[in-house]
Amino acid sequence: MSGADLWSLAPLIVPALAGTLVMLLGGFNANRRLHHGLAVGALAAALLCVGMAYGTAPRTVTPLLIIDSYALFFLTLIYAATGLLAMFARPYLAVREKDTDAFYALLLFAATGMGVLACSNHFAALFLGLEILTVSLYTLIGYLREDSRSLEAAAKYLVLAALSSSFLLFGIALVYAATGTLLLNPAFRAIADLAPQFGQQAEAAWALAGGIFLFVGFAFKLALVPFHMWSPDVYQGAPAPVTALIATGSKGAVLAVLLRAVGPVGLGEIGGAAGITVLAVLTMFGGNLLALLQDDLKRLLAYSSVAHLGYVMVALLAGGVAGAQAMTFYVLAYVLTTLGAFGVVTILSSESPCEADSLAAYRGIGWRRPWLAATLAVMILSLAGIPPTAGFLAKVAVLGAAIEAGRLGLAIAMALASGVAIYFYLRVIVVMYMQEEEDATEASSLPSSFANAVALLVLVALVIAIGLHPTPWFEAVRVAVATILPA
């Protein structure tokens, strides 16, 4: 490894070092502002390093990691998301927990893990990145030690994430046995070559079994139906900023590596298209139908992100350059939107130690807290895919990719599933705006922290800007995808 390699790795090294620093500082200094500032600053610095790494991209650092503009695109998204939720976390933790050094340290390590995932070119890096992320999440989910729901969620996540990791490992082992390589793309290409020989050659059976185990492992992490059981409980129990991390960064990172591994080969080639189509349809309808029954905003958003991952699977199934672009664009829109929604939940939860997650807590906030409510409303409209928001264009891109690939049935299924979803998204808006008389006496309309107000404003502006003028964003996505899937 050379010095230049280290420079390319700077986007991964910075958060890791900062995490260690925060941990060490925590031993001497209980200044919460300092930990917070370090974490946010480190992520900003990491973003700067991402910008610099564009100069040397693409660069393969050891066989394991590749720093190309695809990886850098996702690194930007992941670090920005993590940085924003670190900002949201400060007032939230202030009313709940005195020790915050471990929180920020683990957040930075989780960011590193996600970064490794986004850059990984090799099963070893994939597994290590995933484990760093998951192990950090175990503690982050259970961070509110006094809250039994938080601990329950952590325990559930621990068991299921460990299970899914073992699936993943077993899958990796089988794939290695069959193909003799641990590099992502060659391995999947080899699976694609072996798949048609199923029944004639032992390796084909292993490769196929390995592929299935791998996909089950991914499906657990992404919470696709029927592997979604953990997600509502964990979303509800985890502290709101951590829920945001699970919903945005961790999903984004896993999707990044999934697309890098599968995209250039195509799901259809690997021979799993039929099964994954069923899974995608189940996920879209399952997530949306179950969300209809929820009275808790965090659970509702959990099921809604289950459904959104189903839409992402539609893009993955569509395949090709258009599918990969649609998928990446969808992830971008989904991450920004979900972050905004959980940002509002976090800010409302940081006014008292009790979590603002039941829908009843949002009754009438449209008139009491117009700015926060308007933010949440924009995010909900974006999740529902209504113009002029990013979510709308993302949905158009995915539907378009599916139709272009000739998968009209899948596109219609997606349209109908999003039709079901309208109902529960509207319920949130109904609760906020339509269920209580205006109460103008409470005039504290802005969030308590100025930085958070700015952060939310930026997210709203981005979501609407992407909805109105998507061309630069499409271009960024095109450039990113071109490095893994040359047109």
Partner 1 sequence: MSPQILTALIAVPLTGGGLAVILGRRSDDAARWVSLLAALLTVALAATLWFGFQETLPAAQGPVLEQRISWIPRYGIEFHLALDGLNLLFVILTACLGTVAVLISWREVTRAVGAHYLCIMATVAGIMGVFLAYDLFLFYFFWELMLVPMYFLIGVWGHERRIAAAIKFMIFTMVSGLLLLVAILTLYYAHGAATGNYTMDYTRLLGTQIGLSTARWIFLGFVAAFAVKLPLFPLHTWLPDAHTEAPTAGSILLAGLLLKTGGYGLIRFAVPLFPDAAASLATPLAVLGVIGIIYGAILAYSQRDLKRMVAYSSVSHMGFVMLAVAVWQITALQGAVMQMLAHGVATGAMFAIAGMIQERLHTRDFSELGGLWSKVPKLSAFALLFVLASVGLPGFGNFVGEFLILLGSFPVTPMLVAGGVLGIVLGTIAMLALMQRTFYGPSRNAAVIADLSPREVLALGILAVAAVVLGLLPQPFLRAAEPSLAGIISQSIPFNPADPEVGLDVLRTAAENTADFSLQPPSDPTGAEIAPASRVPVAESAVGLTGTNPGVTTESSPGSAHAIPASARAGNEETGS
Partner 2 sequence: MELLFFYIFAAVILGSAVMMVTRRNMVHAVVWMVITFIGVASLYILLEAEFLAAVQILVYTGGIVVLFLFVIMLVNLGDIYQVEWLHRQWLPALLLALLLVTEIGFMVWVGAQDVPAAPEQSEAILRGLGGNVETLGMALYTDFLLPFEVASMLLLVAMIGAIYLAKKRV
273 binds partner 2 (CB under 8 A): no
Total binding residues toward partner 1, as defined by CB under 8 A: 35
232 binds partner 2 (CB under 8 A): no
CA distance 38 to 18: 7
409 binds partner 1 (CB under 8 A): no
User: Interface with partner 2 by CB under 8 A: which range of 122-130, 314-322, 332-340, 413-421?
Assistant: 122-130
The entry of partner 1, partner 2, none that residue 264 binds, CB within 5 to 8 Å by partner kind: none
- 411, 391, 389, 392: which is closest to 400 by C-alpha? 411
- Residue 484, classified by CB atoms within 10 Å of its CB into exposed (0-12), middle (13-18) or buried (19+), is buried
CB 276 within 8 A of CB 313: yes
1 binds partner 2 (CB under 8 A): yes
Q: Which is nearer to partner 1, 164 or 418 (CB)?
A: 418
> Smallest distance, Å, CB 39 to partner 1?
37
The entry of partner 2, partner 1, none that residue 202 binds, CB within 5 to 8 Å by partner kind: partner 2
CA distance 210 to 203: 10
465 binds partner 1 (CB under 8 A): no
Tell me which of 98, 441, 443, 486 binds partner 2, using CB under 8 A.
Answer: 98
State the CB neighbour count (10 A cutoff) for residue 45.
17
293 binds partner 1 (CB under 8 A): no
CA distance 269 to 56: 33
Total binding residues toward partner 2, as defined by CB under 8 A: 37
Tell me which of 202, 292, 293, 422 binds partner 2, using CB under 8 A.
Answer: 202
**Distance set, CA 135 to CA 106, 114, 139, 161, 343 (Å):** 9, 12, 7, 9, 23
- 390, 392, 381, 387: which is closest to 422 by C-alpha? 381
415 binds partner 1 (CB under 8 A): yes
Q: Which is nearer to partner 2, 208 or 240 (CB)?
A: 208
Q: Which is nearer to partner 1, 84 or 327 (CB)?
A: 327
CA distance 17 to 15: 5
- 115, 85, 133: which is closest to 338 by C-alpha? 85
Quote the crossing angle between the two packed helices 202-222 and 184-194, to the nearest 10°.
130
Q: What share of the chain is helix, strand, coil (3-state, %, to 5)?
A: 80, 0, 20
What's the sign of the alpha-carbon dihedral 241, 244, 248, 253?
positive
The entry of partner 2, partner 1, none that residue 2 binds, CB within 5 to 8 Å by partner kind: none
Tell me which of 399, 459, 466, 480 binds partner 1, using CB under 8 A.
Answer: 399
CB 388 within 8 A of CB 464: yes
Query: 319-378: which residues touch partner 1 (CB under 8 A)?
Result: 367
Interface ranges with partner 1 (CB under 8 A): 367, 381, 384, 386-388, 392, 396, 399-400, 403-404, 408, 411-412, 415-416, 418-419, 422-423, 426-427, 429-430, 433-435, 437-438, 470-471, 474-475, 478
| Residues binding partner 2 (CB under 8 A) | 1, 16, 20, 23, 61-65, 98-99, 102, 105-106, 109, 112, 116, 124-125, 128-129, 131-132, 135-136, 138-139, 142-143, 145-146, 199, 201-202, 205-206, 209
